[in-house]
Amino acid sequence: MSSKPLLSHKKMLFFDVVGTLVDPEASFQKSMEETFHDYTARWDPDLKAASLLKLYQDQMQQFMLQQRRKGSALPIYQLRMHCLRVALHKSKLPLDDSAKQHFIQQVWKEQRRWFTLYPEVHSTLQRLSKHYTLGIISNSHRFTLKQLGLDSCIDSKHVYTAKIAGSKKPNKLIFEYALKSAGLNPKQTVMIGDSKKNDVLGAHRAGMDAIWIHRNKKKKRAKPGDREHFVTIHTLDALTKKPFI
């Protein structure tokens, strides 16, 4: 087995955004908190969002436990919206049904304003940017590097979105577009993302290596046809340690 670091021959590292760099749950909760303040400022500016957040978090925990027992799962965005709806129903906020629906829509709409990075992301990318060129391959274009606080370690010319490339992950064309734009061959790069389908298998189709970031450390049951020839990490800062560097 080779003792060379896994990233030793790489020139560029590509990252997904939501679920890889951005914590979608923290972003959703931050949007909920800010929307709460917008609403309650009209009645009582001293009201705190903590009670609604606690109701939401308790509902999320309860519902996810039920799903695990049943062996079923709602898409995560549907789960968040459902749990917020239940939390609002249980809260003592003076909102009628129409206002509650507007509240929920506002939280969903505004969450991109409150994108929140996972705790280790900024320091990790700062360290990696000293050794590699960093880029983004994302299906979403609704973010800016400045908004994320990553403009000091990623050049905007290396942000490749589905809107720019005219193709979405897992289609290999978006990866090939990024490679051609960066002037690199597939083996000089690696894709890091939280989706096996979009990031890992999509990158493989373009001839790239891939690293799957699986923040839930519970092992998932392998599905027939899974291509498991990729490395799995649980936090992004693993890339700054052995066996990667």
* Chain CA centroid to CA 14, Å: 14
Q: Which residues pair with 213 in a beta bridge?
A: 233
The domain tally of the chain equals 2
103 and 145 share a domain?
no
63 and 184 share a domain?
no
Span 118-141, mean pLDDT? 97
Mean pLDDT check: name the lowest of 37-41, 173-177, 185-189, 203-207.
37-41
Mean pLDDT check: name the lowest of 82-91, 110-119, 167-176, 221-230.
221-230
Query: What does the alpha-carbon distance between residue 228 and residue 226 come to, in Å, rounded to a whole number?
Result: 6
The single-letter DSSP state of residue 22 is B
Q: What is the pTM of this model?
A: 0.88
Say which amino acid occupies 45.
Answer: P
Given a cut of 80, whether residue 133 has pLDDT beyond it is yes
Q: Is residue 198 in a domain? A: yes
Which tens digit of pLDDT belongs to each residue from 150-161? 999 999 999 999
Q: Which two tokens stand for residue 205?
A: 């189709």
Which tens digit of pLDDT belongs to each residue from 144-198? 999 999 999 999 999 999 999 999 999 999 999 999 999 999 999 999 999 999 9
CATH number of the domain encompassing residue 199:
3.40.50.1000
Output the pLDDT for position 230. Answer: 85
Given a cut of 80, whether residue 100 has pLDDT beyond it is yes
Q: Is residue 4 in a domain? A: no
What is the arrangement of strands in the sheet containing 209-213, beginning at the earlier edge strand?
A: 159-161, 133-138, 12-15, 189-193, 209-213, 231-233
Given a cut of 50, whether residue 82 has pLDDT beyond it is yes
Q: Is residue 5 in a domain? A: no
CA distances from 114 to 22, 111, 210, 237 (A): 10, 5, 28, 23
Given a cut of 70, whether residue 225 has pLDDT beyond it is no
DSSP output for 170-237: TSHHHHHHHHHHHT--GGGEEEEES-IIIIIIHHHHTT-EEEEE--S-SPPPPPTT----SEEESSGG
Q: Is residue 7 in a domain? A: no
| Position 93 confidence tier, pLDDT thresholds 50, 70, 90 | confident
Strand ranges inside the chain, DSSP E: 12-15, 133-138, 159-161, 189-193, 209-213, 231-233
| Of the residues 80, 114, 148, the one at which a domain ends | 114
Say which amino acid occupies 22.
Answer: V
CA distances from 216 to 19, 137, 168 (A): 11, 22, 25
153 and 206 share a domain?
yes
For the chain, give the number of residues: 245
Given a cut of 70, whether residue 124 has pLDDT beyond it is yes
129 and 224 share a domain?
yes
Query: What does the alpha-carbon distance between residue 87 and residue 56 come to, in Å, rounded to a whole number?
Result: 5
